[in-house]
């Protein structure tokens, strides 16, 4: 028979339940409106002004064209599937591979807290033939807005618009590990480089969470701040081989709460796996932890956050374990 645990801390009542079913909701993002133009309202004292032709985008046979009145022209050298539109629908970005040249680029070192120039770290001449990719920005008419090389040689992944003037992407891997890069569209400046893995944005792309310190005990960071373990402790070295202590690891993906305030994740390294829920990432008074059986880590299980409930299972509709709580006013 399942047991119920109640914990009161800072006006919070916590209930631990083993769930057999729950519900989920789904939604889809509305694609950006890909049109541009302007209109002018005639006053009673003026003759009506002629209408300004509106530029709109036409997708045909996988290619993209701009149309203005009776004119039509291609606006990109890539197909529809390779174009990423800004949130306002007025600009788009895509990747273009740089043509091979005999020259090499100088190396560069970037830190997470210091903005730097857009030049990526280079490669040794004659030894590394990894291609260099550029990010190309064009407006709705197909006019060039900007172009700059990505951070590190190679093809980046997860390229996307963070806002109308910032692009984010996971840099090509190298020996230093994975890195998530924020790049200014207007200035070509690299705004931040976050080093870690499991990068995930909160709803609305307001905060970036990820797992840091991959060679030692894992840390959970939101941008540059360590949010777990609390206190921001960074171990100087991994546990000794025969110390009996296992390295602390984050298992699976970090999961944001629907409101973007909290994080949930699974932790291994102790006697039992644990489910950790940070109801508010910058306030430890709402931290919750539950021990889990090893079956919670079976392949196919994932972590889901619903309304005041976190589920471990194949989906929200097929849970194996669930933890819920209720706020008391």
**Residue 290 in domain:** yes
Which of 151, 168, 195 is the C-terminal boundary of a domain? 195
Regions of the chain where pLDDT drops below 50: 1-44, 52, 104-117, 119, 125-126, 236, 242-243
Q: How many CB atoms lie within 10 A of CB 203?
A: 12
Looking at residue 212, what is its pLDDT?
Answer: 93
Q: How many CB atoms lie within 10 A of CB 76?
A: 19
In this structure, are strands 63-68 and 71-74 parallel, antiparallel, or unpaired? Answer: antiparallel
Q: Do both 217 and 181 map to the same domain? A: no
Rounded to 5°, angle at Cα 277 from 275 and 281: 145
Domain that holds residue 111: 75-195
Q: Do both 218 and 147 map to the same domain? A: no
SS3 state of residue 192? strand
pTM above 0.85, yes or no: no
Q: Do both 143 and 244 map to the same domain? A: no
> Residue 145: which region, alpha, beta or left (left: phi > 0; alpha: psi -120 to 50)?
alpha
**Residue 31 in domain:** no
- For 63, the token pair is 């290619």
Looking at residue 46, what is its pLDDT?
Answer: 53
Q: Do both 90 and 189 map to the same domain? A: yes
**Residue 39 in domain:** no
Count structural domains, the chain: 2
Q: What is the pLDDT of residues 13-32, one digit of tens each?
A: 333 333 333 333 334 444 44
Q: Do both 81 and 150 map to the same domain? A: yes
Cis peptide before 82 (omega within 30 of 0): no
State the Cα–Cα distance between residues 254 and 19, nearest whole angstrom.
21
Burial group, residue 252, by CB count within 10 angstroms (0-12, 13-18, 19+): middle
State the Cα–Cα distance between residues 176 and 102, nearest whole angstrom.
26
Looking at residue 53, what is its pLDDT?
Answer: 53
Q: Do both 89 and 190 map to the same domain? A: yes
């Amino acid at each position: 028979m399942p047991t119920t645990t109640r914990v009161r801390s800072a006006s919070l009542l916590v209930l631990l339940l083993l769930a057999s079913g729950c519900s989920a909701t789904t939604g889809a993002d509305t694609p950006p409106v890909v049109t541009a133009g302007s209109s002018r309202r005639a006053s009673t004292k003026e003759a009506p002004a002629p209408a300004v032709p509106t530029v709109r985008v036409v997708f045909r046979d996988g290619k993209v064209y701009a149309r203005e009145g009776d004119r039509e022209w291609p606006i990109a050298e890539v197909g529809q599937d390779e174009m990423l539109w800004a949130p306002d629908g007025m600009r788009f970005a895509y990747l273009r591979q740089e043509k091979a040249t005999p020259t090499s680029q100088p190396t560069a070192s970037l830190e997470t807290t210091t903005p730097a120039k857009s030049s990526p770290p280079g490669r040794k001449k004659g030894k590394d033939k990894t291609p260099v990719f550029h990010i190309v920005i064009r407006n709705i008419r197909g006019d060039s807005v900007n172009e700059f090389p990505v951070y590190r040689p190679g093809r980046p992944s997860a390229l996307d618009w963070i806002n109308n003037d910032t692009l984010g992407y996971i840099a090509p891997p190298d020996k230093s590990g994975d890195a998530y890069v924020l790049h200014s569209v207007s200035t070509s400046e690299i705004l931040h480089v976050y080093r870690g893995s499991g990068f995930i944005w909160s709803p609305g792309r307001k905060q970036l969470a990820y797992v840091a310190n991959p060679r030692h005990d894992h840390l959970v960071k939101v941008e540059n701040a360590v949010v777990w373990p609390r206190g921001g402790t960074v171990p100087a070295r991994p546990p000794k081989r025969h110390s009996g202590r296992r390295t602390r690891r984050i298992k699976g993906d970090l999961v944001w709460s629907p409101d973007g305030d909290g994080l949930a994740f699974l932790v291994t390294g102790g006697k039992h796996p644990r489910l950790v829920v940070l109801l508010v990432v910058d306030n430890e008074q709402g931290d919750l932890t539950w021990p889990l059986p090893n079956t919670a880590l079976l392949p196919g299980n994932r972590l889901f956050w619903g309304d005041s409930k976190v589920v471990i299972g194949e989906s929200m509709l097929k849970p194996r374990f669930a933890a819920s709580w209720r706020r008391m006013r």
